[in-house]
Structure 1
Amino acid sequence: MELQQLRYVVAIAETSNFTRAAERCRVVQSALSHQIAALERELGARLFERTSRRVRLTPAGEAFLPAARECLEAADRARAEVAAASGELRGRLAVGAITTVAAVDLPAVLKEFRGRHPRVRVTLAAGGSEDLIERVRRTEVDVAFLGLTTRAEPRGVNGRALARDELVAVVAPDHHLTDEETDLAGLAGEPFVDFRAGHAGRAQSDEAFAAAGVLRDVAFEVSSAEFMADLVRHGLGVGLLPAAYAPRLRDLRVIRLRDAPARVEHLIWADRPSPAATAFLELIIDL
């Protein structure tokens, strides 16, 4: 069993296609298929079911995939540890972040990190807080920036709170609400644009409205702050966004809330962070 075979398995599982997996691994498809067949003979089990439309993991493949990923991660870590021992950081740094991260200037931090450690391959993936916590647990992401309600704590990962922030209402410039400040009851009857139900960004608002005894109509559910802003911009509803993030939306009007929902931004990371992840964490702490 070779590491390259494991890379092929992971690539096929993630693309559900031998051709795309071969392109990702930069080999011809026949070579990739040959190696998978050899691995299946060695294991005595088929890892993939192939049809004319798609490729999917067999039960044996489902069992094999997590171990394959762990082996590849261990190999990458070994290379990174050796490089770090010689005074040079290499390897990869996978960062995850909610789209409304505001406790740090993330693009500036990533630029600073790449300038210090040019041999580290840095990637960034946006997502919801719950998804990012799970991805850090599975070590698919090294570090992640989250936004949670004041009562929630990320579990199963290491972390630290970065900042607490209150939400504000954002409305179109010509919206009929003209006050610079109101309370949640003052928004009753307005249609809202918000994140999907169950999303951490939605929970902050839902809990606050419930505590205030105010019913609201979430007419539009979105997956990103940018999409929320687009709908608000067209006058389709009121949005709720962190006060530290709202100034980025210069064409929207901000209404402060006297009984505002609040959130806490967290930085999380997995056990035994890689040298690259350790260097990134140290950079954040130094800011």
Structure 2
Amino acid sequence: MELRQLKYFLAVAEERNFTRAAELVRISQPGISAQIRQLEGELGATLVDRSGRRAELTAVGEVVRDHARSVLAAVEALHRAVDEMNGLVRGRVVVGMVRACTVTPLFDALSGFHLAHPGVEISLVEDDSDRLVERVREGTVDLALVGVAGRAPGDLDGWQVVSEPIVAVVPAGHPLAGHDGITLAELCAHPIVCLPPGTGIRAVLDRSAAAHGLTPAVALQASAPGAVLDLAARGLGVGVLSPSMVGGREGLRTVAVTDADVPGVLALVWAPVKSPALRELLLHCRRSFGEPRPGTGTAPTGTAAAHRSAV
């Protein structure tokens, strides 16, 4: 019995068709039929009923299917274990990041990982934070840098990189420019320029306002913090961002929002089950971002200055 025969058999079991199964495993249709007949001859039982329009498994075939899956899974686990013992990492990792991301420690981690493991293919995708979280849950993204309101999703592993409040951003001469702090009610009395739904900062604004029975009047939204600042500087609305997104932008005043209790969090998240490649990438992330503080799941706050991202 050969492992390839089990693979061919599982392809037929899944496709219920010899032609489609042959295309799936890249072998000719006569070839896959011959291999499965050899498997049946060795086992002394018919595994596939060929009498109908579809290739259906016999009762024995259904039992063999379950065992074949277990055998091939064990072989794959064996290969992974040997690779880890040899210090080899292969495969592919898909990394997600929020749109307009300029978080240099993430780029440093990807660079260091690529130099250490050139055999691993790295794919980088941009999306809104809400969608990235879902893609991590689905398994189509291995690791994601996302912006969330309050805390990272509890069903995923990860740690916080930055936790910041929202602030109002206005040009000199704006009615709010002379305030040291304003309330959400005062903020919501003006047109607002903010990041779109699906981003952490927008979730913080909406959730904080809803907790006070308020509805923000979002006049304009832009996917990049720089665009929000440009629009606010031109008097088109009060910008709402986090302090690290504003930086030292000339001509703009940052005003604290005193009763917005939900912080904007930038976090690395991943599914609890990790491939060897992802485990290695996480080591590089820890070196670049700094080790999370014990018991907090939060990276050292000194890294915040390096992060300007659409949280």
Q: Which bin holds the TM-score, normalised by the shorter protein?
A: 0.5 to 0.7
Task: Indicate the residue corresponding to 2:165 in structure 1.
Answer: 166
Q: CA deviation at 1:277?
A: 0.9
Counterpart-to-counterpart distance in 2, 1:256 and 1:199? 20
The 3-state SS of whatever aligns with 1:259 is coil
- Percent same amino acid among aligned pairs? 30
Counterpart-to-counterpart distance in 2, 1:225 and 1:206? 17
Query: Which amino acid in 1 is paired with 2:202?
Result: R
Counterpart-to-counterpart distance in 1, 2:251 and 2:76? 45
Task: Indicate the residue corresponding to 2:48 in structure 1.
Answer: none
Q: CA deviation at 1:201?
A: 3.1
Task: Indicate the residue corresponding to 1:211 in structure 2.
Answer: 211
Q: Which residues in structure 2 correspond to 1:112-151 (within 5 Å)? A: 112-150=112-150
Q: CA deviation at 1:209?
A: 2.3
Query: Which amino acid in 2 is paired with 1:187?
Result: L
Counterpart-to-counterpart distance in 2, 1:169 and 1:142? 34
- In structure 2, the CA distance between the partners of 1:174 and 1:154, relative to structure 1 (3 Å rule), is same
Task: Indicate the residue corresponding to 1:247 in structure 2.
Answer: 247
- In structure 2, the CA distance between the partners of 1:215 and 1:271, relative to structure 1 (3 Å rule), is closer
Residues 138-147 or 112-121, more deviating: 112-121
Task: Indicate the residue corresponding to 1:88 in structure 2.
Answer: 88
Q: Which residues in structure 2 correspond to 1:96-111 (within 5 Å)? A: 96-99=96-99, 105-111=105-111
Q: CA deviation at 1:174?
A: 6.2
Q: CA deviation at 1:224?
A: 3.8
- In structure 2, the CA distance between the partners of 1:87 and 1:199, relative to structure 1 (3 Å rule), is closer
For this pair of structures, how many residues does the alignment match? 224
The 3-state SS of whatever aligns with 2:236 is coil
Is contact 1:164-1:262 (8 Å) kept? yes
- Answering whether residue 277 of structure 2 is matched by residue 276 of structure 1, we say yes
- TM-score norm. by structure 2 comes to 0.58
- In structure 2, the CA distance between the partners of 1:147 and 1:267, relative to structure 1 (3 Å rule), is same
Structure 2 residue runs of 5 or longer lacking an equivalent are 12-21, 31-72, 291-311
- Answering whether residue 250 of structure 2 is matched by residue 267 of structure 1, we say no
- In structure 2, the CA distance between the partners of 1:130 and 1:172, relative to structure 1 (3 Å rule), is same
Is contact 2:131-2:198 (8 Å) kept? no
Deviation readout 1:25-84 (Å, 9 max, x if unpaired): xxxxxxxxx958x99x89xxxxxxxxxxxxxxxxxxxxxxxxxxxxxxx99998776654
Query: Which amino acid in 1 is paired with 2:285?
Result: I
- In structure 2, the CA distance between the partners of 1:121 and 1:100, relative to structure 1 (3 Å rule), is same
Is contact 1:181-1:258 (8 Å) kept? no
- TM-score norm. by structure 1 comes to 0.62
RMSD (CA atoms): 3.9
Query: Which amino acid in 2 is paired with 1:144?
Result: A
Query: Which amino acid in 2 is paired with 1:211?
Result: A
Q: CA deviation at 1:88?
A: 3.1
Is contact 1:89-1:120 (8 Å) kept? yes
Q: Which has the larger radius of gyration?
A: 2
The 3-state SS of whatever aligns with 1:268 is strand
Is contact 1:77-1:91 (8 Å) kept? no
- In structure 2, the CA distance between the partners of 1:180 and 1:155, relative to structure 1 (3 Å rule), is same
